[in-house]
Amino acid sequence: MDQKKLEAILNGVKDGTLDVEEAVQRLRHWPFEDMGFAKVDHHRTIRCGFPEVIYCPGKTAEQVAAVFEKLAETGQNVIATRADTFLYEDVERITKLKGLRWERDARMIVLEQKPVANPVGNIVIVTAGTADMPVAEEARVTAHMLGQNVELVCDVGVAGIHRLLGNLERIRSANVVIVVAGMEGALASVVGGLVDCPVIAVPTSVGYGASFEGLSALLTMLNSCASGVTVVNIDNGFGAAYAATLINMKITGA
């Protein structure tokens, strides 16, 4: 959509020949900014409710920094996933953006330009073991930056089921539960049989050889006998948090 078309839409709203709802529908498909190596989707928030998120692997520091700067111009908070400390240091040096920070445990770069105020609902993230924490932290930081109230319950795997039962009241308070587990991935089924809300299972690549870098946990979760359990890809804490946020916002009406 070029400037003339945008002016036509705005003038249509102004003179009453185009209602606001129709104008919004037309603007949902515009604009994106072509940077050559990337097409930055500035209207992701209008269509989907949240800004575009940067996936770092495969991108140079210069490319990540350039996309950060373009998204930052909108005044929104920006997050980038799967970044290491070296990438963060390079991006910070290149951009000099104020408010940029490194979430080490989550492996994320975050630009918080406006405070996340009054988080809504309740998402509880449950991990089977401490080794699952990087994926759980990715989910926690993502959900928080998307404006959600998040609680973390760590190291309550099925090898010591009493640990899970000791935290059951906290888990049952959730609108959505994210279960992060590697090894055989049994925790998602157990939690799914104890709660009355949606459960999003995240298999992790934690485990010895026969876990096949998360494939064993993935297949267990996909074959869960507990109703209400859905599954995202291996180590995809971001995807689980995004889906949980959408569910939580529908429940709370936020």
Give me the pLDDT at residue 1, please.
47
Beta bridge partners of 202: 180
Q: What is the pLDDT along the chain (254 residues), one digit of tens a residue?
A: 455 667 778 888 888 888 888 877 767 656 777 778 888 887 787 777 788 889 999 999 999 999 998 888 877 889 999 999 999 999 999 988 888 999 999 999 999 887 877 777 799 999 999 999 999 999 999 999 998 999 999 999 988 999 999 999 999 999 999 999 999 999 999 999 999 999 999 999 998 998 899 999 999 999 999 999 999 999 999 999 999 999 998 887 76
Give residue-wise pLDDT tens across range 2-44: 556 677 788 888 888 888 888 777 676 567 777 788 888 877 8
Domain ranges of the chain: 14-111, 120-252
Chain centroid to Cα 232, Å, comes to 12
**pTM listed for this prediction:** 0.84
- Least Cα distance to 49 among 252, 242, 200 occurs for 242
Q: Hey, CA dihedral for 79, 126, 190, 235, is it positive or negative?
A: positive
CATH of domain 120-252: 3.40.50.1970
Write out the DSSP string of 211-247: GGGGHHHHHHHHT--STTEEE--TT-HHHHHHHHHHH
Element (H, E) at 25: helix 20-27
**At CA 232, angle to CA 156 and CA 68, rounded to 5?**
105
Indicate the burial class of 114 (C-beta count within 10 angstroms; 0-12, 13-18, 19 or more). exposed
- Least Cα distance to 225 among 254, 188, 170 occurs for 188
Residue 51, Ramachandran bin (φ over 0: left; ψ between -120 and 50: alpha; else beta):
beta
Give me the pLDDT at residue 115, please.
80
Contact 198, 231 (CB under 8 A): no
